[in-house]
Amino acid sequence: MTDFVGRRRELKELREDIARTGLDTLSGRKAKSPRARVLLVAGRPGSGRTALAEALVREIADDYPDGVFKVRLTAPTGESVATEWAVRTLLEGLGQPTPPGAAEDELSSALRTALAGRRAVLLVDDASDPHQVDALLPDTPECLVVVTAEGPLTGIPDVRPCTLGGLDTPSAVRMLVQRIGDIRVANDPRAAEALAEE
């Protein structure tokens, strides 16, 4: 596994967003019910959104002693996975029973019950449907949900977005060093920079 490079500014902003006051609180409105904070890492496929989300979760894992639970919402073939499957995956990770034949609402309720009173992180990777993400959200502000997606998640209140552009050239060169070795990069640094720019 290669080391994570770059994105220090984005990591800092995401960490600050965890503690930031929610928009509902800021405007003086009370949310319907306390829910987990949702951070969104948005970017095109290949932008490093999953790598950034995983790096963030590694940095903050000690703040969430009840664990980190991950689910991917897109199959390798590109289709969205069934919400029921995603909820079952998280429940199994929590060591909770997943009764066969249970409806999606029942499973979502079981997930929220299992996370009540816990301080955990859910890493929801490659989301394309905000309704699917909503079915996974804990009803407890002690939990954190980190979502990766290509675009915005409209319909989920108070999402904190971090939209990724390209990786800066020095970080891209460091990533290249990890892939091909430092000798080749040192021998032709200009070619390495040009390749990184591409």
Same-domain pairing of 118 and 68: yes
Identify whether residues 64 and 33 lie together within a single domain: yes
Residue 39 φ then ψ, to 5°: -105, 135
Q: Are residues 36 and 78 in the same domain?
A: yes
Same domain, 180 and 148: no
**Percentage of the chain lying above the pLDDT 70 cut:** 82
Element spanning 126, H or E: strand 121-127
Asked whether residue 55 is assigned to any structural domain, the reply reads: yes
What range defines the domain where residue 93 resides?
8-165
Same-domain pairing of 64 and 116: yes
* Average pLDDT, rounded, for the chain: 83
The CA distance from 65 to 150, in Å, is 29
The residue count for the chain:
198
**CATH no. for residue 18?**
3.40.50.300
pLDDT digits (tens, 9 = 90+) for 52-103: 999 999 999 999 999 999 999 999 888 999 999 999 999 999 999 887 888 8
Whether 152 is in a domain gets the answer yes
First to last CA, the chain: 23
pLDDT tens per residue, range 150-175: 988 888 887 888 877 666 666 666 76
Kindly state whether residues 91 and 41 are assigned to the same domain. Answer: yes
22 and 83 fall within a common domain: yes
pLDDT band at 25 (very low <50, low <70, confident <90, very high): very low
126, 178: one domain: no
* CA 121 centroid distance within chain: 9
Tell me whether residue 150 is in a domain: yes
Same domain as 172, residue 158? no
